[in-house]
Amino acid sequence: MLTTDRYAAVMPLLSARALRKSYFKARLEIPVLKHVDLDVFPGELISIVGQSGSGKSTLLHLLATLDRPDGGEIRFEGNRIDNLAPAGRDILRNRYFGMVFQFYHLLPELTTLENVLMPVMIGRGVLSYYASRRRYVARAKELLELVGLSHRLKHRPRELSGGEMQRAAIARAIIAEPKLLLADEPTGNLDRGTGEEILELLRNLNARHNLTIIMVTHDNAIAAEADRTVRLFEGRVEVPVAMAVDAA
Amino acid sequence: MYKYLLCLRYLRTRYIALASIISVMLGVATMIVVNAVMAGFINETQVRIQGFISDLVVESHSLDGFMAPEWHMDQIRRVAGDDVVGMTATVQVPGMLIFSVNGKDGAESITRQVNVVGIDDATYASVSDFGKYLQHPANRERLSFDLRENGYDARDQQVENGEERKELAFAGWEYRRRKEAQAARLRREAHTPLDSVPPETPQAEASRIPDNLLAEESGAAAGSPSAPTLDELVEDGGGHNPFQGRRWQPSEGEASVFDPAKQQHPGLVMGIALPSYRHRDADGKVQTGFLLRPGDDVQLMLPSAGNNPKGVRGYFTVVDFYDSKMFEYDSSVVFVPMSQLQELRGMFDRATGTTYVSAIRIKTRPGVDLVALRDKLRAAKVVSDDPRAADAPLFPPTVFSVSTWRDKQGPLLAAVEMEKATLNLLLFLIIAVAGFGILATFFMIVVEKTRDIGILKSLGATFWGVMGIFLSYGLSLGCVGAGFGLGLGLLFVRYINEIRQFVESRTGREVFDPTIYYFYDIPTIVDPLTVAYVVAGAMGIAVLASVLPALRAAMLRPVDALRA
């Protein structure tokens, strides 16, 4: 393919072509994403911004294979993933993608440590997990240390503050050593200062561990911290004038 | 791994689900208790039936029986070989038991319909555990139709702390002599002027003595019976009576008058419910009163053998009571020496002296297939050196019936078995209903946990992973419910009689009335296999009930779940 040949040197980690997605409300089709093209290159920190209702969360869900697009295709490392069977998506989400949500989404019954270990537990069988559980626990503790939560290992999520919960969620997202971190409004529920800390943490991960991050936000100030910003407007990517000319 | 971790956490934090399995627990406990009690009942009944009937019975259709029991036993041994460990011949015949008690207007004669069983006291014990139901310790060792001096159990010895039977404390020869002495005194007083006789004798013993019976007894002993005895009939027809000389006959030098204080009629063992009655005393305790006791005399009226049956009667002395706790037997059976019965009824061949019996009871080696042996006996041919006798059917169905004890009591056992099956079905339905409770609770939990399910899916949890969480949750709830139910049920069975006593003492109502059941303790048998089935069934239902909610959880689309 033409595109692949042209960027053969730097193949996008994740690329979306002509993505479409609509919702139905009382039999009325409401298009959310009309035509979205996106390339994410390894090591990038991209922010996707747009007003609420512009479809940015929907786009993230499609990229994370949590939902299926109505049209278009998504490729991860050159392979199509939008039409994968459920089992394939489960593996992809477990091993290659990490996810961080606005409302942290920790499991309330488990301790911080157990929450962080969850992707490993899901990915391994009982025996293989049990056999190397010390290694995994050590790794989880290391990550919690990295996000600054080593004093909260045995606490339940409801005993943590918002910032702490988000840190735990980030630790959970990276324990399986994913290639791509998808963050849906990671600072949306936090005050400015805590939000800055979380952002700092994500930038650190991006810079030091070369983790590719796609971050959805409605806050322009936060979006500005990213390497590149993709603006969504009414279901399309807003193309900067210069690039539009270039493409033409 | 996460499945079990989450399942464990849900188990510890969702008490609502634990509440939903209380019904499973109660269902399991009830099923265990009901099965144990029913099995106990069936077992007790079977033991008693088998103890009475023995394992296999070869019976004649006719009341007159068949002849040559020894030859038949020999033939049976040839057919069955080592499978037979004991055999005895018996004579069964319906009869009338007549005895006198003190009634409203003095002595009153009581007549009861009974099944008279003539047994051979030497061999009967080899086929039946008849002996262990008797009231005299020596008779339990070895039955004797001779009256014992005294020493009958004054308390029911078959059950722990059994009921008191105060009449039996004073029974046997001791009682017979005292009764006779008082009767003699009454007879003497009857010949003295009337005004010297007190109108009522306050003593119970004296008032119990029936005048007319005593009068008849002395009359009978004096040699003027109202019905002809067989001796007379036999002497008329000539020939040979094989029982000649076995009955009491005045020997040389002995007074030719029967003296009840020194002599007894042939012995008789009667079912304990025949002469006894149950009532409640002032405290509401069940008491058993006895109209007769060992040492008393009774009459039996029987049809004589032959194609022109007449009523024949004989006197017998009660020597013991038979207490099998099986009301059907205890209220109808009377055991007498077989030779007495054969003689009374004329069950012998005058020309050859061979006797007639109605049945041969066979006890088999443990583990023998009774049905197979029965069919073998039914099909057996006569083994004989004489070519004319050989190869004829040994027990032609026109004359004999060969049956196992189960065949004889089939309807009763079938009824109990059916009751058990019905109860099990109903109780299992209760557990099934409990399953719907689990279903509803689980749906609630799935709805409550929708977002967590979304999180798990976003972390890569598979369809079967999410399904597994709720299935194993259902299974562990089932385990907990069935486990507690098992414990509760077994505890209940273990202490069922204590619980019964407690309930009775609290409510004042008899829960398990011994006047109805004739058992003093509720019998129970816990069959491990049944318990295993019940527990497995309950766990299965819990898992089945969690399938639908688990499916719903597993099929949730991650986006929808996350948005919830």
* Domain residue ranges in chain B: 2-48+411-563, 93-356
- ipTM entry: 0.87
Give the pLDDT score at B486: 94
Among B42-56, B346-360, B415-429, the least confident range: B42-56
Q: Are B302 and B310 in contact (CB under 8 A)?
A: no
Residue B106 pLDDT > 60: yes
Give the pLDDT score at A187: 85
| C-alpha distances in Å from residue B414, one per residue of B256, B375, B417 | 55, 21, 5
Q: What's the rounded Cα separation, in Å, for the pair A81 and A65?
A: 7
Residue B454 pLDDT > 80: yes
Residue B436 in contact with partner chain A when CB distance is under 8 A: no
DSSP assignments along B490-546, one per residue: HHHHHTHHHHHHHHHHHH---SS-HHHH--SS------HHHHHHHHHHHHHHHHHHH
Query: What value does the mean pLDDT of chain B take?
Result: 80
* Residue with more model confidence, A188 or B520: A188
Residue A32 pLDDT > 70: yes
pLDDT band (50, 70, 90) for residue B391: confident
Residue B466 in contact with partner chain A when CB distance is under 8 A: no
Put simply, whether the predicted model's pTM sits higher than 0.95 gets the answer: no
Residue A4 pLDDT > 50: no
Query: What value does the mean pLDDT of chain A take?
Result: 84
Please write the tens of the pLDDT for every residue from B29-75. Answer: 999 998 998 888 888 877 877 777 788 889 998 888 888 888 888 88
Residue B540 pLDDT > 60: yes
Residue A46 in contact with partner chain B when CB distance is under 8 A: no
pLDDT band (50, 70, 90) for residue B334: very high
Give the pLDDT score at A37: 87
Among B120-124, B232-236, B485-489, the least confident range: B232-236
Give the pLDDT score at B517: 60
Mean pLDDT, residues B539-560: 89
Q: What's the rounded Cα separation, in Å, for the pair A172 and A120?
A: 9
Mean pLDDT, residues B439-458: 89
Give the pLDDT score at B217: 44
Domain with CATH 3.40.50.300 in chain A: 2-96+178-247
pLDDT band (50, 70, 90) for residue B313: confident
Residue B164 pLDDT > 80: no
Residue in A93, A114, A129 nearest the CB of B460: A93
Give the pLDDT score at B114: 93
pLDDT band (50, 70, 90) for residue B519: low
Residue A82 in contact with partner chain B when CB distance is under 8 A: no
Residue A122 to residue B559, Cβ atoms within 8 A: no
Note the CATH number of domain A2-96+178-247: 3.40.50.300
Give the pLDDT score at B249: 52
Mean pLDDT, residues A25-51: 86
Residue A108 to residue B559, Cβ atoms within 8 A: no
Residue B6 to residue A107, Cβ atoms within 8 A: yes
Mean pLDDT, residues B350-357: 83
Give the pLDDT score at B81: 81
Give the pLDDT score at B193: 57
Give the pLDDT score at B331: 85
Give the pLDDT score at B536: 92
pLDDT band (50, 70, 90) for residue B180: confident
Residue B459 to residue A129, Cβ atoms within 8 A: no
Mean pLDDT, residues B378-396: 79
Residues 524-563 of B with CB under 8 A from A: 557-559, 562
DSSP assignments along chain A, one per residue: -HHHHHTSTT--SEEEEEEEEEEEETTEEEEEEEEEEEEE-TT-EEEEE--TTSSHHHHHHHHTTSS--SEEEEEETTEE-TT--HHHHHHHHHHTEEEE-TT----TTS-HHHHHHHHHHHHS-HHHHHHTHHHHHHHHHHHHHHTT-TT-TT--GGGS-HHHHHHHHHHHHHTT--SEEEEESTTTTS-HHHHHHHHHHHHHHHHHH--EEEEEES-HHHHTTSSEEEEEETTEE---HHHHHHH-
Please write the tens of the pLDDT for every residue from B436-445. Answer: 888 988 898 8
Q: Which residues pair with B563 in a beta bridge?
A: none
Residue B207 pLDDT > 50: no
Which one of B12, B457, B459, B463 would you mutate to disrupt binding with A, by most A Cβ within 10 Å of its Cβ?
B459
Give the pLDDT score at B206: 44
- CA B360 to chain centroid, in Å, comes to 21
Residue B254 pLDDT > 70: no
What is the percent of chain B with per-residue pLDDT over 90, rounded to a whole number?
A: 12
Give the pLDDT score at B316: 92
Give the pLDDT score at B489: 93
Please write the tens of the pLDDT for every residue from B130-142. Answer: 788 888 888 888 8
User: Which residue do the tokens 């009226």 mark?
Assistant: B301
Nearest CA in chain B to A111: B9
Residue A156 in contact with partner chain B when CB distance is under 8 A: no
Residue A107 in contact with partner chain B when CB distance is under 8 A: yes
Mean pLDDT, residues B481-494: 93
Give the pLDDT score at B214: 45
Give the pLDDT score at B149: 85
Residue A53 pLDDT > 80: no
- What is chain B's Cα-based Rg? 34
Give the pLDDT score at A248: 44
pLDDT band (50, 70, 90) for residue B222: very low
Residue A99 in contact with partner chain B when CB distance is under 8 A: yes
Q: What's the rounded Cα separation, in Å, for the pair B290 and B288?
A: 7
Among A33-37, B38-42, B197-201, B498-502, the least confident range: B197-201
Residue B453 in contact with partner chain A when CB distance is under 8 A: no
Residue in A61, A95, A124 nearest the CB of B559: A61
Please write the tens of the pLDDT for every residue from A121-144. Answer: 888 888 888 888 888 888 888 888
Mean pLDDT, residues A34-58: 85
